[in-house]
Amino acid sequence: MKNSKKVVVIGGVACGPKAAARIKRLNPETEVTVIEKGELLSYAGCGLPFYIAGEVENYNELMTTPTGVIRDSNFFKMVKDINVKNHTLAKSVDREKKIVYAVCVNTGDAVELPYDSLILAVGSKYQVPPIEGKELKGVNFLQTVEDSRKIREESGSLKGKNAVIIGAGLIGIEVAEAFKKQGMNVTVIERLNSAMGELLDPEIAYHLHNELKANNVLLKLGETVTKINDDGLGCVKSLTTDKGEYPADIVLIAVGVRPNIRLAKEMGLEIGETTGAIKVDRHMRTSDPDIYAGGDCVENNNLITGKPIYTPMGSTANKHGRVIADNICGIDSEFRGVPGTAICKFFNFNVARTGLTEARAKSEGFDYITVLSPSPDKPHFIKDAKLIIIKFIVDRKTKKLLGAQIAGPGDVAKRMDVAAVNIISGSSVTDISHYDLAYAPPFSPAMDNIITAANIAENKLNGFGSSYTPVEVKEKIDNNEDFILLDVRSQQEFEQMRIDDSRVKLIPLGKLRSCLDELPKDKEIIPFCKISLRGYEAERILTGEGYLKVKYLDGGIICWPYEKIT
């Protein structure tokens, strides 16, 4: 009888079960064993905040198939013919003998598992900052179902309690909503000057800040936590930063994760110098050709810079698992990399991003332009139309999209998917203008928001329109430069909301041509309106009339991330 190939998978959450299941579909005779140190398998880790919020009533729902069957060890054996050893910790690997040495965490019994191919899908570990008091009862991290159960079930009723979240990243923002839905008083403390600071530029993050405040979340930026204080009984009572003290019944530390590389280092596998994650090739092979790795423990290729990056995402982990399975089964399959796409929501506000931020594009040395394009996600005559703001960062030389950020209460996901695909395909941003996107008034404007943003980029790249970003205009104001901030909205709009600065001059667009004598040609003029559609029109009019120092304010007053009179 022909010996079947043996595959051992270490890790049973995302990448591991995905690879195991596909291997059995492609080559049913392969003997596949998954070992997992915890009890629970193949759960939706990204759904944990929604369990804390109460939107997912039973944590088992995070581990079920669409038909309601729990993906436990019995399911994997009976349905997939995959051997699962949960409560089993991989201690070491002998690469020469091709044996995984493990131990049952409940009994201490030793387990030896020979392999032909080994898959490391060991995930990540949350970062533990050096803060005094982090061991107190009531201080939490969030990575596993057990972590979420501890917060929701072991803390008693959450209503009326004080929660402090350290870190305003993706997890921090989502859990802030979850805590608010449980009736808690929520404070978010972030050492950077912006929520999601490494993922978003200021013009986009500003609107997220406003949404947090509008939902009564106390957002403290630019503060560093120095101590978590004890109530004298081993429980948390407050949290101290370099700027103040905040009462706390529950503390969530959400300052990021790092790759779990213990086994890989002990085995002598190559580790990425800049990421600290396991280095793999496009086939997801490690430096040992018989060992594959995927998920949060590996580095990825940045499709814009070509450099390695660490971007832990459940969606990416599942893609890794499929590629690994293909290659083990003899199918030449590659994972080329990622642009770094992410999305999250906070109540009715959505924010998504992909590629490079403007700050990162600048540090990488790109010569780029930016676009800010705010507009409703549907025609104005559709009652549930909602605002979204698109920011593009575009390489001036290649005309390729370097990055995109989209925020607002409207549909940001479909536009971000288009931007991500544009980057992955290697197309130019101007190609977006010709995409045949699905259109009907209940879904989008006739010229979809992302097509409009691409057209603005094309105008700028071809020299038909020049603009300043809000950040650049604010710098000019702070430097007390002499220029005219030309508001071309109506008098009524001006009275409802305006920029508070002595340089602001109101001339509605319809009167601009008849009021040119009020605008000196030797002074710089920065026209704007609500979203700068009329601001762009004014820039074109003035340029056509021989004004040489004209640039419109990108994004208009909607994208002005500073103080306004309303």
- 203 half-sphere exposure, CB direction, 13 A CA radius: 33
The residue type found at 342 is A
434: which 2 tokens? 């010709």
- Residue 296 has a pLDDT of 96
Q: How confident is the model at residue 152 (pLDDT cuts 50, 70, 90)?
A: confident
pLDDT tens, residue by residue, 440-467: 999 999 999 999 999 999 999 999 989 9
Residue 513 has pLDDT above 50, yes or no: yes
Which secondary structure element, helix H or strand E, spans residue 246, and what is its range? strand 245-247
What average pLDDT does range 371-396 have in this prediction? 96
68: which 2 tokens? 């309601």
Contacts of 489 (CB under 8 A, 6+ apart): 506, 508, 509, 529, 530, 534, 557
> From residue 405, how far is each of 203, 338, 372, 463, 511 by CA, in Å?
10, 16, 9, 23, 35
**495 with 508: CB under 8 angstroms?**
no
Average pLDDT of every residue of the chain? 94
Among candidate residues 410, 461, 408, 405, the one with its CA nearest the CA of residue 433: 461
Residue 391: which region, alpha, beta or left (left: phi > 0; alpha: psi -120 to 50)?
Answer: beta
pLDDT tens, residue by residue, 343-377: 999 999 999 999 999 999 999 999 999 999 999 99
Residue 72 has pLDDT above 90, yes or no: no
- Residue 57 has a pLDDT of 84
Among candidate residues 246, 157, 176, the one with its CA nearest the CA of residue 214: 176
What average pLDDT does range 3-9 have in this prediction? 90
Contacts of 342 (CB under 8 A, 6+ apart): 170, 199, 313, 352, 353, 354
Q: How confident is the model at residue 76 (pLDDT cuts 50, 70, 90)?
A: confident
- Residue 528 has a pLDDT of 97
46 noted as active-site residue:
yes
- Residue 1 has a pLDDT of 37
- Mark out the alpha helices in 197-292 (DSSP H runs): 202-214, 262-267
CA angle 332–336–340, rounded 5-degree value: 150
Q: At what angle do helices 314-328 and 15-26 cross, to 10 degrees?
A: 30
CA angle 283–170–212, rounded 5-degree value: 160
What average pLDDT does range 518-522 have in this prediction? 95
- Residue 66 has a pLDDT of 83
pLDDT tens, residue by residue, 170-200: 999 999 999 999 999 999 999 999 999 899 9
Looking at 45-49, 300-304, 474-478, which range is the least confident one? 45-49
- Residue 479 has a pLDDT of 96
What average pLDDT does range 261-279 have in this prediction? 97
- Please, what are the domains in the chain? 6-123+258-328 (3.50.50.60), 139-255 (3.50.50.60), 348-461 (3.30.390.30), 467-565 (3.40.250.10)
pTM: 0.92
What average pLDDT does range 82-93 have in this prediction? 94
Residue 33 has pLDDT above 60, yes or no: yes
Burial track 539-564 (b if 16+ CB lie within 10 A, e otherwise): bbbbbeeebeebbbbbbbbbbbbeee
Phi, psi at 364, each rounded to 5°: -85, -5
What average pLDDT does range 503-521 have in this prediction? 96
Q: State the greatest distance between any 2 C-alpha atoms of the chain, in Å, as a whole number.
A: 95
How would DSSP label each residue in 520-536?
A: -TTSEEEEE-SSSHHHH
Residue 496 has pLDDT above 80, yes or no: yes
Instruction: Give the separation between CA 99 and CA 92, rounded to whole angstroms.
Output: 9
- Catalytic position from the list 15, 46, 329, 344: 46
Alpha-carbon dihedral sign for residues 135, 139, 144, 149? positive
- Residue 3 has a pLDDT of 60
- Residue 155 has a pLDDT of 72
